[in-house]
Amino acid sequence: MTAEILVQAMVLGLLQGGIYALVAAGLTLIYGVMKVVNFAHAEFLTLGMYLAFSAYTLLGVSPYLAAVFALGLVFVLGAAVQRTLIRPALRHPQINQLLITIGLSTMLIGAMQIIWGPRNYVVPLPWGRATLGLGDLRVTYTRLIAFGVAVAIAAGFWVFLKRARGGLAIRAAAQSPDAARLMGINVERVNLVTFGLGTGLAALAGALIAPVFFINPTFGIDYFLLPAFVIVVLGTMGNFVGAMVGGLVIGLAESFGGLLLGAALRQFASLAVFVLILLWLPRGVFGGRMT
């Protein structure tokens, strides 16, 4: 195995990891604040991909501009879902909450299939295949852009969580809803916004990778749900920074895993990592606290 192949695996792993990080960030945020495991999370990513696809093919809008609209649109959709399905379920038994997000996932897959059909689509950017060469290594611009934007957004979001009043409210609600309430924070609104933002970030990530992957209704659940869960558990459920680091780690692990084990066993490696992390680090490497 040559050095170039290893470097290639590393670069590809990191590029994928950046996207993972953004998707997992939303999932972990939702869990941190509401303690709801959102099994429908990956569908919002798929939805973002389709929105970018339609924006490009119908209106000629660049997927990167569409990403902004996808974020906004899915934010509203996510908030509506939170208000109608999640919020009333917060007082229900956990099994009901889990099945509700699972049912939501099924509904969304069906709805996307009705709207866009079961076929695979691509966003046919004229420069979609163009690559940047770094010595022997070639990476498509689309992947580079997706990575760059995803990391920038995630970093920006982290600053928002740390500095902004809204970010403080989210962190406070994640620490203790009751204490946050006593501090005068409107926890209901924080929940609403968090769910909107979390799903919106997934959609944004989806729009960014729309030019990179084939789009179909089960793309998200097939390729992103498991990694997102692995990352979120690895980085401690509810921990934002953990999800960032976890995203990159899992991106790299999958890339090298695929190299060493072959495609069939790559998924197995992911699952094995998941099981082992659950057992040995059930509270993740970042301990029990959020950021």
Give the shortest CB-59-to-other proteins separation in angstroms.
24
Asked if 228 and 20 count as a contact pair (C-beta separation under 8 A), the reply is yes
Q: What contacts 57, CB < 8 A, 6 or more positions away?
A: 123, 124
Q: Which is nearer to other proteins, 3 or 264 (CB)?
A: 264
Please answer whether residues 38 and 29 qualify as being in contact, where contact means their C-beta atoms are separated by less than 8 angstroms: no
Q: At what angle do helices 41-59 and 187-209 cross, to 10 degrees?
A: 50
Cβ(284)–Cβ(234) under 8 Å?
Answer: yes
Identify whether the C-beta of residue 185 lies closer than 8 Å to the C-beta of residue 11: no
Q: Which residues contact 1 (CB under 8 A, 6 or more apart)?
A: 259
Among 8, 54, 62, 113, binds other proteins (CB under 8 A): 113
Number of residues counted as binding other proteins (CB under 8 A): 46
Q: Which stretch binds other proteins (CB under 8 A): 29-37, 69-77, 134-142, 183-191?
A: 29-37
| CB of 23 vs other proteins, minimal distance in Å | 17
DSSP 132: E
Stretch that binds other proteins, among 8-16, 101-109, 126-134, 159-167 (CB under 8 A): 101-109
Rounded to the nearest whole angstrom, what is the least distance from the CB of residue 111 to other proteins in the complex?
Answer: 6
Angle at 175 between CA 170 and CA 179, to 5 degrees: 95
Note whether 98 binds other proteins by CB under 8 A: yes
Taking alpha carbons only, the member of 67, 221, 202 closest to residue 145 is: 67
Considering only residues 3, 58, 263, 264, which one is a binding residue for other proteins as defined by CB under 8 A? 264
Q: Which is nearer to other proteins, 162 or 289 (CB)?
A: 289
CB of residue 178 vs other proteins: minimum separation in angstroms? Answer: 16
90 counts as binding other proteins under rule CB under 8 A: no
The conformation of residue 83, written as its DSSP 8-state character, comes to I
**Which CB sits closer to other proteins, 3 or 279?**
279
Q: Can you give the binding site for other proteins, defined by CB under 8 A?
A: 31, 35, 37, 85, 88-89, 91-100, 102-111, 113-114, 118, 217, 226, 229, 233, 237, 264-265, 267-268, 271-272, 274-275, 278-280, 282
